[in-house]
Structure 1
Amino acid sequence: MPTTDKRIQADYRNRINRVFEFIEENLDSDLSLTTLSDIAFFSPFHFHRVFKFVAGETLNEYISRKRIEKSALDLLHKSITATEIAHRYGFSNISSYSRAFKKYFGVSPTGFKKQNPYKHSKIRQLDSKNEQGHPNFEKYICIINNLNNWIQMNAKIEIKEMPMMDVAYVTSIGPQNLESAYKKLIQWATPKGLINEHTKMITIYHDSFKVTQANKVRMSASILLNKKIETAGEVAQNTINGGKFIVGSFEIGLEEFEKSWTGLFLWMNENGYQKANSEPFEIYHNNFNEHPERKAIVDFYIPIQ
């Protein structure tokens, strides 16, 4: 980063957080360098350098990737046409969208939607890490049935109306940095009296492991706030929109998180629900290190329309 002062670095990350949020909410808009550098209060030149350091890719690479990946999730989870999706994510026409999509995924949007959903899901990792290629249809059905059975045995699933929730958070790019983000958040929150036995830790997922490389998935390591509080440095505030959610309650080992998410999205699709545009998240109810079997007691939330 263009400075070694930790306080300035934290301030820079906070400013880039605002840009992340703006991009997320305006993928259909003209996300120009000038507009985004103004949001971050940087000169365009300085902003380019800082953004690449924080995000790990250039601004144009990040915006293009987000548009394509978000559109792919819409193709998987929503009953809308590729043309509608193209306009939703700022493409001038279906041809330019199709070219960009095929360059990224190696298949057209229509082909992506028609393909066996197994290919674009973490379900394929639940079979065998030594398996080459994708299984046949019968094997796919067997895996789906096994996953459905596992979910029925290990999850309590409800549809809930949730209120708006205010959180303080630290951004993590990639799961490899999530623990560090929580440490920074707790270090900030503890002297303010925000950490106690009732504190709810929340991980918000701004990207999906289905379509985004793991080391580029943006997450917010968060705590639930019961009052407005001033944040600074890398710690920022955000709001989880209220609304209707699928809530899956689990008591699972750390190695079962992926299976749980996959199963919950499968349950969503098979029960006729469509994901809303806001982000899924996890709320933790214990410290898994203190559990006799090192299990996490956790609720998974998928926002639905």
Structure 2
Amino acid sequence: MEEHKKRIIKAIRYIDHHLDADLSLENISEIAMYSPFHFHRIFKLITRETLQNYIIRKKIEKSAFYLAVKKEMEIKEIYLDLGFSNHSVFSKTFKKYYGMPPSAFRNSAPETFHRILQIDRKNGQTDTVFSQYICHVENLLNWTKMNLKIEVKELPEMNLAAVMSLGLAQVEPSYNLLIEWAEKKQLFPAQNVKMISVYHDSFKVTPPDKVRIHACMLLDEKLNGQNGLIFSETIDAGKFIAGRGEVTLQDFEQCWVSLFLWMNEHHYSMRKAFPFEIYHSNFKEHPEGKMIVDFCIPVH
């Protein structure tokens, strides 16, 4: 947990002190010693906003500080120092946050405005804003301990019948199609039948309505050929980090981020294979909408 604190503090400090530098996801994630994919999800969960939104907000807050207390600075000098390409872009972005253009803000800002923006410090200790983020990290890790049983284990090869879905909205219809096919084959309902979602795209680089998710059913034997929209898929045997928990659909993102944090903390790296979820119960049959799920990451 201490290692994650240090990484998050390091990343946020770097952003706040280098608002005029190259603050790309690749650069910031390298500073934090996470992969871009993992860092993006962790950062959003901890700060409650995307990396890009955080950077823009910090730039606008810094520009507001300069406008209020550094009257000698030209507006052009302020926005160029903070990496805005021109006055139009800066003015439009500033107005979105403060409801008025920069010039009007400068004319109306009180001399004491800087007191609002300053962060209290005590004996050089961590800024209170960092403490807030660290609290989020601790809460996440504590939530993980209470809600996920995580282990590293070898899983056997899994033969699946699959239906492809594009976007989250299509996952349930894909499962309905799969179940309809399985009922005709007398494979469903059956005792201990397992449904599995395999993620073939990352939400970081692919829009949510384009993410490819395969709705799958675990079979005893490999499916021969393709039957309409039903096709064969195989999860190869190997080592996996598996986190099991009884969670709601709203907890899924937190479960995945928790698992990635755990993976980094224990020095595992992800293999070039697809992560997946194994469902052991149906949330529609639980009074609180909970289901037992294994969240699985293929690792070296």
The two structures share one fold, judged by TM-score above 0.5:
yes
Give the equivalent residue in structure 2 for 1:199.
Answer: 193
1: CA distance, partners of 2:202 / 2:217:
21
Offset at residue 119 of structure 1 (A):
6.2
Residue of structure 2 aligned with 1:270, choices 254, 265, 268: 265
Which residue identity does 2:54 align to in structure 1?
G
Report matched runs for 1:44-59 at 5 Å: none
Pair 1:124-2:119 in alignment: no
Question: C-alpha distance in 2, partners of 1:190/1:125?
Answer: 40
Q: Which runs of 5+ in 2 are unaligned?
A: 1-21, 59-128
- After superposition, the Cα gap between the structure-2 partners of 1:158 and 1:112, relative to the gap in structure 1 and judged at 3 Å, is closer
Structure 1 position 107 matched with structure 2 position 107 = no
Aligned twin of 2:231: 236
User: 2:210 & 2:233 partners in 1: Cα distance?
Assistant: 21
State whether residues 222 and 232 of structure 2, in contact with CA within 8 Å, keep that contact through their aligned partners in structure 1.
no
* 8 Å Cα contact 1:123/1:259 also seen in 2: no
1:39 aligned residue: none
**Is the CA contact (8 Å cut-off) linking 2:40 and 2:50 kept in structure 1?**
no
Aligned length: 201
State how 1:209-288 maps to structure 2 within 5 Å.
209-230=203-224, 231-288=226-283
Letter in 2 for 1:247: A
Instruction: Name the counterpart of 1:149.
Output: 142
Unaligned runs of 5+ in 1: 1-104
Whole-Å separation in 1 of the counterparts to 2:293 and 2:25 = 37
Q: Which residue of 2 aligns with 1:186?
A: 179
Tell me how far apart the structure 1 counterparts of residues 26 and 54 of structure 2 sit (CA, whole Å). 21
Judged with a 3 Å threshold, the aligned counterparts in structure 2 of structure 1 residues 155 and 168 are, in CA distance, closer, same or farther, namely same
1:75-94 map, 5 Å: none
* Among candidates 19, 35, 54, match of residue 133 of structure 1: 54
> Does the 8 Å contact 1:154/1:250 carry over to 2?
yes
Q: Deviations over 1:99-136 (max 9, x none)?
A: xxxxxx98384455336868611552465479962695
Q: Rg bigger for which structure?
A: 2
Is 2:158 aligned against 1:158? no
Amino acid at match of 1:186: I
Q: CA RMSD in A?
A: 2.7
Matched, 1:295 2:215: no
Q: In 2 relative to 1, CA 172–277 (structure 1 residues): closer, same or farther, beyond 3 Å?
A: same
Please state whether the residue corresponding to 1:299 is helix, strand or coil: strand
* Amino acid corresponding to residue 204 of structure 1 in structure 2: V
Partner of 1:72: none
Distance 1:108 1:258 in 2: 20
Matched, 1:304 2:299: yes
Superposed displacement of residue 173, structure 1: 1.0
Alpha-carbon distance in 2 for matches of 1:302, 1:244: 9
Match of 1:216, SS state, is coil
Q: Percent of counterpart pairs with the same letter?
A: 44
Please report how far the alpha carbon of residue 147 of structure 1 lies from its aligned counterpart in structure 2 after TM superposition: 0.7
**1:99 corresponding residue in structure 2:** none
For 2:44 and 2:180, the matched residues in 1 are separated by 38
Between 1:190-199 and 1:263-272, the stretch displaced more is 190-199
Q: Distance in 2 between matches of 1:247 and 1:289?
A: 23
